[in-house]
């Protein structure tokens, strides 16, 4: 597909974030299982639910445009998922809190990709005057920001302190 217009770019980026979300969903569930802190595990489970909501939203938007959300493989998220598995799941840690701190680090990297993706998509949709899409994408963007803030709160409220000991 040739990307000639902002609409072409928008539709291509919908596929990218869809692929990114599908990949992030799997590793987020794995990190939730690996987390030792109950609050972190619960937050990651909620994050996985939010990612699924994003997948559903992209499917809905794509359907509105008579497009399939599939067909793209996000190599950026592929790398982030590989890093998350290597550093947060497969790595050996002496302390559970240190592992939890790494899980937060890796999850926030995933969510920052989503923030960038949803932010760009919302801006494209706004320029294309796709008001219904803008509303859905902004909801996904807000949920991603909320997930990032939750992880920062968990880290600063105790997990990082516990990892020092």
Closest CA to 107 of 67, 50, 164, 165: 50
Q: State mean pLDDT over 107-124.
A: 98
- Give percent of the chain above pLDDT 70: 99
Long-range contacts of 29-34 (CB under 8 A, 24+ apart): 30/85, 30/89, 31/84, 31/88, 31/89, 31/103, 31/106, 31/107, 34/88, 34/89, 34/99, 34/103
Name which of 21-25, 39-43, 93-97 the model is least confident about: 93-97
Ranges of each domain in the chain: 6-164
pLDDT at 18 over 70: yes
Four-way CATH pick for 6-164: 1.20.1260.10, 1.20.1600.10, 3.90.105.10, 3.30.465.10: 1.20.1260.10
C-alpha 55: how far from its chain's center? 10
pLDDT at 165 over 80: no
pLDDT at 115 over 90: yes
Q: Give the model's pLDDT for residue 2.
A: 85
Q: State mean pLDDT over 52-62.
A: 98
Q: What does the mean pLDDT of the chain come to? A: 96
pLDDT at 37 over 70: yes
pTM: 0.94
CA atoms within 13 A on the CB side of 72: 21
User: What is the per-residue burial (b if ≥16 Cβ within 10 Å, else e) of 59-98?
Assistant: eebbeeeeeebeebebeebeebbeebbeebbeeeeeeebb
Cα–Cα distance for residue pair 116/110, rounded to 1 Å: 10
Q: Copy the structure tokens of residue 61.
A: 């938007």
**Cβ contact 21:62 at 8 Å:** no
């Amino acid at each position: 597909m040739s990307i000639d217009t902002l609409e072409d770019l928008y539709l291509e980026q919908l596929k990218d974030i869809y692929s990114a979300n599908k990949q992030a969903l799997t590793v987020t569930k794995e990190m939730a299982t690996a987390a030792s802190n109950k609050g972190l595990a619960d937050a990651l489970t909620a994050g996985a639910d939010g990612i699924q909501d994003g997948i559903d939203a992209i499917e809905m938007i794509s359907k509105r445009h008579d497009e399939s959300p599939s067909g793209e493989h996000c190599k950026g998220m592929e790398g982030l998922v590989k890093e998350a598995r290597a550093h947060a799941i497969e790595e050996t840690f002496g302390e559970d809190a240190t592992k939890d701190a790494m899980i937060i680090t890796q999850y926030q990297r995933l969510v920052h990709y989503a923030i960038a993706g949803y932010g760009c998509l919302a801006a494209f949709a706004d320029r294309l005057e796709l008001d219904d899409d803008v509303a859905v994408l902004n909801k996904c963007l807000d949920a991603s920001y909320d997930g990032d803030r939750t992880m920062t709160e968990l880290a600063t409220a105790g997990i990082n302190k516990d990892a020092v000991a």
